[in-house]
Amino acid sequence: MSEGADIDVHQLRMFLAVAEELHFGRAAERLHIAQPPLSRAVKQLEREVGATLFRRTTRSVALTSAGQALVLPAREVLASLARAEDAVEAAVTGRAGVVRVDFAGVSTHAVVARLARAVRAEAPGIRLELSSQKFARPAMRRLLDGDSDLVLGRWDVVPPDVCADVVVRDDLVVAVPDTHALAGRARASMAELAGQGFVSLPPHEGAVLLDRLRQLTRAHGFVADVVQEAPDTQTALALVGAEVGCHLTFTSVAVNASHPHVAFVALDGVSDDAEGTVQDVHLRAARRRGDDNPALRVVVDQLLQLPPSAGGPPHGSTVPSASETAVG
* DSSP 3-state of 115: helix
**Digit-coded pLDDT (tens) for 114-159:** 999 999 999 898 999 999 988 888 899 999 999 999 999 999 888 9
Handedness of CA 1, 74, 44, 39 (dihedral sign): positive
Q: Which residues pair with 285 in a beta bridge?
A: 152, 165
DSSP string, 69-107: HHHHHHHHHHHHHHHHHHHHHHHHHTSEEEEEEEEESGG
In the prediction, which pLDDT does 161 show? 93
Q: What is residue 271's predicted lDDT score, i.e. its pLDDT? A: 56
pLDDT at residue 316, as a whole number? 40
Residues of the chain with confidence (pLDDT) below 70:
1-5, 205-206, 269, 271-277, 308-328
All structural domains of the chain, each given as residue ranges with its CATH number in brackets, are 9-91 (1.10.10.10), 94-153+290-304 (3.40.190.10), 172-268 (3.40.190.10)
pTM higher than 0.85 for the full model?
A: no
